[in-house]
Amino acid sequence: MQSALTLREAILENLQSRAWRAGHRLPTERELSGQFGLSRSTVRRVLSELKGRGLITQTVGSGTYVSEEVAHALANISHGGAPLATSPAELMSARLVLEPAIIAMVVGNATHADFDRMENCCERGEAAETIEEFELWDGKLHEAIADAAHNTFISAVFQRMNEARAQSEWGMLKRRSATPERRLDYQREHRELVAALKDRDGARANELCIGHLTHVRRNLLGY
């Protein structure tokens, strides 16, 4: 089985070589899933990331297409460099430093729309039928929290962290460590964190953020 990173690089190669030009219709999620041996939720996560970077667009009932702004989006990626090659341990260390550090900005800057987005991510994660789908919405929740800081640099950093989460080693650890009980714990912790942010309780949100990330690290890495 190939990794989400393999799919991402294959799509980027088609875009960079101009084999797929603006307006080109991409294969369906089902086709990509079969071709790369990935779950539909993993394919959806990769497409969501590429959409977020302006490379593709998606129309319900129609399909996924190369963006009209693909050249500009590719230029931004080339300046940003290749996907981060980092270990789960390095990623967790970075998350434990960065995510609590932005809580005050989120508390001060988040809007009602930001909180609605966070709630939707929680709901979609709770309704997820697979660990891959849950991981997708887990990542989207943490990205939504980062975006609520309303700082473009912070949003870019967290987007890169979500790219690192798409790497196969992280996914394998998540699947190995996943149990129904742990998932319920994560869902509860997500809800408590969002509630504290909505209450503008920075101290409580910071405590919950550190507690959640420490819990994830212990389950994934054993310390």
Distances in whole angstroms, Cα of residue 68 to Cα of each of 18, 45, 73, 77, 181:
13, 21, 10, 16, 44
Looking at per-residue pLDDT, the higher value among 195 and 60 belongs to 195
In this structure, are residues 95 and 146 in contact, taking their beta carbons and an 8 Å threshold?
no
Average pLDDT, stretch 113-139?
90
Paired residues of 57 in beta bridges: 65
Average pLDDT, stretch 201-211?
98
pLDDT in the model for residue 11:
92
**Comparing C-alpha atoms, which of 214, 188, 192 is closest to residue 201?**
192
Distance between CA 222 and CA 161 in Å, rounded? 21
pLDDT in the model for residue 77:
66
pLDDT band at 215 (very low <50, low <70, confident <90, very high): very high
**Comparing C-alpha atoms, which of 144, 131, 133, 158 is closest to residue 193?**
144
pLDDT in the model for residue 161:
82
Structure confidence by residue, pLDDT tens digits, 138-148: 988 998 999 89
pLDDT in the model for residue 84:
56
Distance between CA 85 and CA 106 in Å, rounded? 28
- Taking the whole predicted model, whether its pTM rises above 0.75 is answered as no
pLDDT in the model for residue 195:
98
pLDDT in the model for residue 36:
86
What is the percent of the chain with per-residue pLDDT over 70, rounded to a whole number? Answer: 92
The domains of the chain are located at 4-78, 84-221
- DSSP reduced 3-state for 127: helix
pLDDT band at 1 (very low <50, low <70, confident <90, very high): very low
Residue 82 has pLDDT above 60, yes or no: no
Average pLDDT, stretch 92-110?
95
Fold of 4-78: Arc Repressor Mutant, subunit A (1.10.10)
pLDDT in the model for residue 83:
53
Distance between CA 138 and CA 166 in Å, rounded? 12
Domain 84-221 has CATH 3.40.1520.20: no
